[in-house]
Amino acid sequence: MAAALELEVRHTMPRYAHLVTGPKDLERRVGG
């Protein structure tokens, strides 16, 4: 269920995705 919520957040609120995915994903997103 958490994974589905994460995907939904990424699609609907990409600016808040880092709150769900964590700092690792945020670094990857910002870095490249």
Q: What is the pLDDT of residues 1-32, one digit of tens each?
A: 678 877 776 777 766 666 666 666 656 666 54
Confidence at residue 12, expressed as pLDDT on a 0 to 100 scale: 75
Number of domains in the chain: 1
Start-to-end CA distance of the chain, whole Å, equals 28
Tokens of 13: 């609120």
The SS3 assignment for 15 reads helix
The SS3 assignment for 8 reads helix
Confidence at residue 18, expressed as pLDDT on a 0 to 100 scale: 62
Confidence at residue 6, expressed as pLDDT on a 0 to 100 scale: 77
Q: What angle do CA 7, 12, 18 make, to 5 degrees?
A: 65
Can you give the residue range of the structural domain that contains 16?
Answer: 2-31
| Amino acid (one-letter) located at 23 | P
